[in-house]
Structure 1
């Protein structure tokens, strides 16, 4: 009897299995294929990667022009000495630990952070929270960052001899936003593949920038009027709030980690995320503080002008390109997360169309902000107050991750019916929502900003909005979660 030939694995799989594999690739996204999966559960067969990749994902958007300017504010606006500024920068970087902790929930649940937060606020309550913070404000963040990148792009084209017209401004905005949306549409696969290269490019460019600026550093710099006592404490707390608001606002870190295998050690996820955000922030924020010590440099009103004056003429255009690339890297992550936030609101829409919607809104706001400076100023001032929500949101999320020891069930989280584990009291988890409100009130009372000064800040002069919001919100959530407020009521 003749032997039966053994078929090759590809033959045994057949066209149906091959099609299924292609479909899975489209869902999860590859560097060359748009990611169609949104908040849907990621099964174990689609999980891949190592937590170390998260370092590069978070380092790319945090090696940015903003880090330079924020460091300069510590010296030029708050009047701190270099040592005092370095202390504030180091203290604020600790906030990245919180971003790392909540990233642990991504691999555990296998879905977006905008769905995981149903565990904190309930199915219906979560829609309110995600709608206001996770989606609507994302458009404002996109607008601000795109505005800065577009203005820098216009400046670069101006150096090349092109007339600065309104039409050219719109074209630049569309190009910057288009590149951002392209990355967001291709999604997780493209981000993981390209961000290591983007990070290395940005780090090299900004290190070279720092080296060129060294001759302008004044290491013996001392404030014209040295601060002391309560005045020093006030300025250091204001600086801390400004810097720590960046890591505290990144509640989308689970989105970047959700494709990792469920068994991935949580501490590795947290460490890679936290270090990726903290290290470039510490280095380049410190460099920004040093640049602000240079005579004749206005790093507050004209930061690009300071670099234009300090960098060689041939290198400044390369620096400008790096600034724009960093803005695109940051906004691509924001657009990616916002596209899933819209789905988490219960709107029947796929992820890619959702990304396009948020991009259109952000682009329109950007075009307006580039044409009308006062709009950008108004939105920037509004963002100073966003810390009132950002701190409590992060605190509740961190508290929930720690209380559950990083254990989440994606199937339960995606169940939006009244029988869901996370339906709580008619769809609302009052423990989470009340904690958010209490933390917000505490944060507002301690806020000291250009827009609003809370009663506690008015008396003390200190800005304790971040620690107050974190402690009150987290403490309230831990206590209230042990009460009947979390009872399931259909």
Structure 2
């Protein structure tokens, strides 16, 4: 068998340091040199707030009330589920230490070869599906607005709207980290103003004494509470890319600040606007949330609201596409970062066109996304556990060594502790999961109780901890002190 080269990595250097965000970022997964590090943890708040000042939060909040929860129960579930953003923040601390992306850092968890498989599924395929799902939803909102303005409902218009939204998203991802840092502060302020206005109008229609018409009781009550928690928790568990947005910070940046600014940027707007969605559902029919919310706002404000929905989607998908381009490089695709982003964007756009123009692909994607936490939960858990076990002591240079003699080759290029923890954790979560089209045997035996999140997250973390010690895959330095 031919011996692989000592280091296999795309090594395109940035044309200029990523300081102003004024040009296209050409740096890929190669390590950011110390003299190009800049910024402070405070900038992470806006980076994570812009995607989470979200119309989706209204939808999720309304869904909790539709499930039969009381207002107090819904708010409790919202806070509890969003606490998982702390995991996203904790993962982010590995970015400044290594100066590289999460899809490279995860070689420590899965090995050089094993990591390619895991990242191909979780960092690329699922990313493309998320792009399609979000673009489809935003396109439907924009096309509805176009219909109200009297524009003809034609496939040409549909395709033009989809391509415009996708193009703006990909443009943000192409310009990269510096542009995201600068642009998302402005987007956070503008989106917050729009959704706060919607919230004010919503508060005029809240039934503060609301009680469910047929509240669940007994064991069914527990099933509904856990189902609501799973819905809320699925959003923070879908973000395993937080180190990608911290890799340009100085190496000595405080980990606590990185974790808290990241987590709070997502947590605060998610809690506020999901709660508003729950409040709205006390009097409005949130089975059609867009129509319900538009019914309580002035007619002149509706186009602004729809525009905000689209802009929020662009902000969310811009971050996703950016990380997906890095993931493509890390699995061995020999493309510079910009072409890699374009490939991801084209794939996501094609999926979206099929969803809106050809067949009900969106329903299939939504059904699959109900179970995506089965995979994302274990992956996030293993990453966070590895950061804790190694005490965030990673060597950015060593992570790029893909040779058989490198520290992350393990056995045959696979760290079986990480691979088994994710696979067994995902399998365990699947048999404990419950959705509109799938009920695992354990969940079915327990009356529909969905334990996918606690089993997947806690089970995978415990497995990885035990297997890492049993297989001795952690360096001795990581277990001292």
Q: Normalised by the shorter chain, which TM-score bucket?
A: over 0.9
Q: Which residue of 2 aligns with 1:483?
A: 470
Give the CA deviation at 1:93.
Answer: 1.1
* Residue number among 272, 280, 292 corresponding to 1:283 in the alignment: 272
Q: How many Å separate the matches in 1 of 2:275 and 2:390?
A: 37
Give the CA deviation at 1:222.
Answer: 0.8
Give the CA deviation at 1:451.
Answer: 2.1
* Residue number among 240, 247, 251 corresponding to 2:240 in the alignment: 251
Contact 1:79 1:223 in 2 (8 A): yes
Matched, 1:75 2:65: yes
Q: Which residue of 2 aligns with 1:471?
A: 458
Q: 1:156 to 1:487 in 2, by over 3 A?
A: closer
Give the CA deviation at 1:24.
Answer: 4.5
Q: How does 1:318-357 map to 2 (within 5 A)?
A: 318-357=304-343
Contact 1:29 1:187 in 2 (8 A): no
The C-alpha deviation readout for 1:247-302, integer Å capped at 9, x for no partner, is 011000000011001100101000011001100000000000111111xx3322x2
2:38 partner SS = coil
Give the CA deviation at 1:444.
Answer: 1.1
Q: Which residue of 2 aligns with 1:12?
A: none
Matched, 1:406 2:392: yes
Q: How many Å separate the matches in 2 of 1:287 and 1:468?
A: 30
Matched, 1:264 2:246: no
Q: Which residue of 2 aligns with 1:63?
A: 53
Give the CA deviation at 1:146.
Answer: 0.4
The C-alpha deviation readout for 1:18-72, integer Å capped at 9, x for no partner, is xxxxx75546374220000010110100000000110110010011110000000
Q: How many Å separate the matches in 2 of 1:356 and 1:27?
A: 22
The C-alpha deviation readout for 1:307-329, integer Å capped at 9, x for no partner, is 22111101111011111000000
Q: Which residue of 2 aligns with 1:418?
A: 404
Q: How many Å separate the matches in 1 of 2:324 and 2:474?
A: 30
Give the CA deviation at 1:216.
Answer: 1.8
Q: How does 1:81-120 map to 2 (within 5 A)?
A: 81-120=70-109
The C-alpha deviation readout for 1:322-371, integer Å capped at 9, x for no partner, is 11000000000000000000000111110000000000000011111112
Give the CA deviation at 1:459.
Answer: 2.1
Matched, 1:40 2:30: yes
Contact 1:72 1:299 in 2 (8 A): yes
Q: How many Å separate the matches in 1 of 2:17 and 2:347?
A: 25
Q: Which residue of 2 aligns with 1:177?
A: 166
Runs of 4 or more off by more than 4 Å in structure 1? Answer: none
The C-alpha deviation readout for 1:159-191, integer Å capped at 9, x for no partner, is 222111110000000100000011000000000
Aligned residues: 462
Q: Which moved more, 1:29-38 or 1:99-108?
A: 29-38
The C-alpha deviation readout for 1:184-214, integer Å capped at 9, x for no partner, is 0000000000101100111111000111122
Give the CA deviation at 1:417.
Answer: 1.1
1:293 partner SS = coil
Q: Which residue of 2 aligns with 1:18?
A: none
Contact 1:173 1:367 in 2 (8 A): yes
* Residue number among 200, 209, 224 corresponding to 1:211 in the alignment: 200
Give the CA deviation at 1:215.
Answer: 2.1
Matched, 1:448 2:438: no
Q: Which residue of 2 aligns with 1:13?
A: none
Q: How many Å separate the matches in 2 of 1:31 and 1:331?
A: 18
Contact 1:51 1:272 in 2 (8 A): yes
Q: How many Å separate the matches in 1 of 2:197 and 2:358?
A: 34
* Residue number among 108, 111, 120 corresponding to 1:131 in the alignment: 120
Give the TM-score normalised by the residue count of structure 1: 0.92
2:332 partner SS = coil
Q: How many Å separate the matches in 2 of 1:52 and 1:276?
A: 9
* Residue number among 369, 373, 382 corresponding to 1:387 in the alignment: 373
Contact 2:378 2:425 in 1 (8 A): yes
Give the CA deviation at 1:227.
Answer: 1.9
Q: Which residue of 2 aligns with 1:49?
A: 39
Contact 1:32 1:190 in 2 (8 A): yes
Q: How many Å separate the matches in 1 of 2:303 and 2:34?
A: 45
2:469 partner SS = coil
Contact 1:29 1:35 in 2 (8 A): no
Q: How many Å separate the matches in 2 of 1:67 and 1:334?
A: 18
For the aligned residues, what is the CA RMSD?
1.3
Q: Which residue of 2 aligns with 1:371?
A: 357
Q: How many Å separate the matches in 1 of 2:357 and 2:70?
A: 37
**Structure 1: gaps spanning 5 or more residues:** 1-22
2:370 partner SS = helix
Contact 1:153 1:172 in 2 (8 A): yes
**Structure 2: gaps spanning 5 or more residues:** 1-12, 476-481
Q: How many Å separate the matches in 1 of 2:392 and 2:261?
A: 16
